[in-house]
Structure 1
Amino acid sequence: MAAAADAERLWSDLDAHERELRREGYQLREIWHKTTELHAENEKARSELEGKARQNFVAPDTRINLNVGGQIFETTAGILCKDRWSVLAALCDRDEPIIAPDDDGTFFLDRDWWIFRHILNWLRTDALPQDPMVLLEMYNEAMFYRVEGLCRAIKALPQPDCRFKAARN
């Protein structure tokens, strides 16, 4: 008799758990649908914003000369425009670059050239150095240049350096 009561109680508990799982599954589906709708709305808003921005970059194969902290770098507009909302892409604006070039067409940026070379290399290859201190400096410079893709790539790396982890948060 006691075994039958125990079995009945267990069966009742299982039924209650099953109902709870169905209810949670329904809630998760609702959240998923709402998230999907929000993503679609964000994409629409992003497209409208980009259309209003009227970015008019020079041709991707246009050579761009940069004087970063006294070191001359030569690259193309296509590389600098990898992140089209960055300061570097704004240099390539056909109508109104963010800063005026020097008389020889070179853009002067009073920044650390040694770190900039790593940023330029990332823009070209997506390769990141292994040194945590270089990565931290790159992250700080990427924040200055507003290169969001580079910031995200650095944040995504597993880093053993505690100082870097604190700076990433």
Structure 2
Amino acid sequence: METTTFEDVVELNVGGKLMTTLLNTLRHEPDSMLAAMFSGRHVISKDKDGRYFIDCDGEVFTYIIDYLRFGKLPSQEKAIDVYDLAKYLQIMSLAEKLETYHSVKYRNQIAEPKTQFEDVVELNVDGKLMTTLLKTLRKEPDSMLAAMFSGRQVVSKDKDGRYFVDFDGEVFKFILDYLRFGRLPPQEMALDVFDLAKYLQIVSLAKKLEIFHSVKYRNQIAELRKRVENNGYQKVKEKTINEIKKSNVGPQENKVLNFFSSYGNSCCIPNKDRCKTPGDFTTSINIFIDIESTYLTEDMMALLVHELCKLGFAKYTVTREWNNRCKNCGSDKEFKQIILLTH
């Protein structure tokens, strides 16, 4: 079988456009047609000047070469042309990246088999059966729900022919109520509905729910977490939970957590003989923090009390700061305190 031997630098004529590249670049995607063409196993036509001829659009091919050289992706307006050539040349990593572009995604959706919907649509939402109007599902035109029922996509059906939607049915009914009547969910459902509205890209509902206390509070907690995550918070949390567990205190007992720095005279380490325990609690747990690496900020304490409640250590909390005088040397010791109330 006749083979071709290539130089390391290859001169090309691509649809009349002249270019030069490395042989390694053309072979960069080993499973592609381009790599096969320049593997040496095939004879490639040349133009009159001895350049290897590739019969495709030279302007589009420059984007293929840019991707193989640098991983560079084309602009949105060039995406479809480059996608088609990448598919033809079997450069699948580039084709997969371009499938996320809006123009390619939309063109592919249009090309898919269409679904014809009745005006009244029967749904199976994770086992919960419901019926609504097609125009209700399409009410927010830029939402994922409108796209699902646009007719451009195939929607799965259950054994009884109802369209199957894989969301929590109890939450989805509030999405439908909003699309039908503009009705907002009760406070206790706001977080779940907010998350589903965000996922379905029902932006107007998500914005309305952002003012609900539970959503706002959850967002504030997320902001707190961002602010303290690099300041030793996780170690403080783990140490606090370990000290509570080591104390063998019953889950229904109120308790007070005293946070001390480990800095200072050894005689200032608080215990029942040397330091007065503030508060009227028989269960007091001392937690020592190395202030050279961790400083207990207000943000850190706020997040800690939230997470202790969430983990079931308390229903309510009180946070305080104290000055405690050591009975041995008379020096003052500052510390922070969290009171865990279980009922």
* TM tier, smaller: 0.5 to 0.7
Deviations 1:59-93 (A, max 9, x none): 8x801111111011100111111111222212322
Residues 62 and 127 of structure 1, relative CA distance in 2, 3 Å threshold: same
Q: Provide the residue aligned with 1:83 in structure 2.
A: 140
In the TM superposition, residue 154 of structure 1 has moved relative to its aligned partner by 1.2
Contact map agreement 1:115 1:137 (CA 8 A) in 2: yes
The aligned residue for residue 207 of structure 2 is: 152
2:187 matches 1:122: no
Inter-partner Cα distance in structure 2 for 1:68 and 1:109: 5
Q: Scaled by the length of structure 1, what TM-score is found?
A: 0.55
Picking from 117, 120, 145, the partner of 1:63 is 120
How many angstroms apart in 2 are the aligned matches of 1:147 and 1:57?
Answer: 22
Give a deviation string over 1:87-107, Cα, whole Å, max 9, x none: 22123223x225333464422
User: Please, what is the CA RMSD of the aligned residues?
Assistant: 3.2
Following superposition, the deviation at residue 152 of structure 1 comes to: 1.6
List structure 1 segments (4+ residues) > 6 angstroms apart after TM superposition. 52-59
Q: 2:164 aligns with which of 105, 108, 111?
A: 108
Mapped to 2, the partners of 1:167 and 1:105 lie a distance apart of 43
Distance 1:153 1:58, change over 3 A: farther
Name the residue aligned to 1:23.
none
**Alpha-carbon distance change, 100 to 160 in structure 1, aligned in 2, over 3 angstroms:** closer
The aligned counterpart of 2:130 is: 73
Partners of 2:186 and 2:136 lie apart in 1 by: 22
Q: Quote the Cα distance in structure 2 between the aligned partners of 1:168 and 1:83.
A: 28
Q: Which residues of structure 1 form unaligned runs of 5+?
A: 1-48
Cα 1:152–1:98 change in 2 (3 A) is farther
Out of 118, 142, 149, the position equivalent to 2:197 is: 142
Residues 57, 98 of structure 1: alpha-carbon distance in 2 compared, 3 angstrom cutoff: closer
Question: 1-side partners of 2:133 and 2:165: how far apart?
Answer: 16
TM-score (normalised: structure 2): 0.29
CA distance in 1, matches of 2:155, 2:222: 29
CA contact (8 A) 1:58 1:92 kept: no
Indicate the structure whose relative CO is greater, using CA pairs within 8 Å and at least 6 residues apart: 1
Amino acid at match of 1:159: H
In structure 2, the CA distance between the partners of 1:137 and 1:92, relative to structure 1 (3 Å rule), is: same
Which residues of structure 2 form unaligned runs of 5+? Answer: 1-102, 224-343
Percent sequence identity over aligned pairs: 23
Q: Give the Cα separation in 2 of the matches to 1:82 and 1:142.
A: 13
Matched positions, count: 115
Per the TM alignment, residue 168 of structure 1 is displaced from its structure 2 partner at its CA by: 8.6
